Chains A and B, each alone.
Chain A
Amino acid sequence: MPSFTTRVHITGSTHKLNDDLPFLQAITKTIHACDAVVSRDWLSEVSDPTSEDTDWEAALNDNLESIRKSDLVIIEATQGRFSQGLQAYTAAQYKRPTLIVTRSATNGHFISGVGSKLIAVKQYGTKEELAAIVTEFIKQNSIPEKDLRFNMILDRRIYKYLRDTSYETGKNKSQIIRSLLEKDLKKRQ
């Protein structure tokens, strides 16, 4: 049993789902092979994506919620649709490492300009290439669930502050730093 579970949000276009479905399924399979889980299994829910009865507000909210809950985001953007652009920006906004994969040429398109520290744009041709790209992305960005050892350099002033606070509160220096980080994290959320 692996010691970590990475949650991955996958999104793609329902516009030409029959064309993209085998590749979306290949992404799902690769995610599972990497011992990660899919945050929202929307592929099995899609019936008639062109229907005017589709509750777009619910679908969009489910996707945005899934991005919030995920560790990583993978976007199949061959169709280059509105929803994929919206989710790509939102994922980066929430600081989720995001992989955009496409079978279309990226050169000469908006998508080729969105790469950043958080967004990687990759072109693929076959399911095998896609699986390799997805595997590498997940491996690079997975964070183990167990506690991680972290070493850092402290300047004299900070060290003295931690030592004094530790003496006053009875907490060790690591606990003090962890609680400061947790407080900051809560504030940001």
Chain B
Amino acid sequence: MHASDATNGAAPLEHVRLVLEVEIPSDVQYIEQIVDLVKGQVEALRYAPRQVALNVPVALSEAISNAILRGNNENIAKLVRVRSSADPSCLIVEVTDEGKGFDLELCTPDPTTPENLSREDGRGLFLMRKLMDRVERFGEAGNVIRMTLHRQ
């Protein structure tokens, strides 16, 4: 018997990896569409509703906007590449820009302290770290951010 026979035609996604690779110009108007595509991946693999509605969209939106605004200085000619690979156990998203990279540690003062709470900025990397299981920076120039989230 084939595996698909047992599920009335709808093959289970237990052994499936969904991979998406997108390149966008450095324009923040693209972010929402890319986020929707990656949301679709984790939704198809039945990640927890909160991961689909909160963790993935917010963390990815932060990573792409950092790449566009900081990495590429909103230079429309420079590209941001998003590579997202999701399987039933975890999601790994890499966001690459054409910038010189930045030091994650230096960029993450705690925005929840009383003196920082009323600041308008400084929550991006904090949220990525809170909403993802792991956030790493690598690449020759440190211009790649990789985020990992385990399915719940």
Q: Do A and B come from one complex?
A: no
Q: Give residues in B with beta carbon < 8 Å to A.
A: none
Q: Give residues in A with beta carbon < 8 Å to B.
A: none
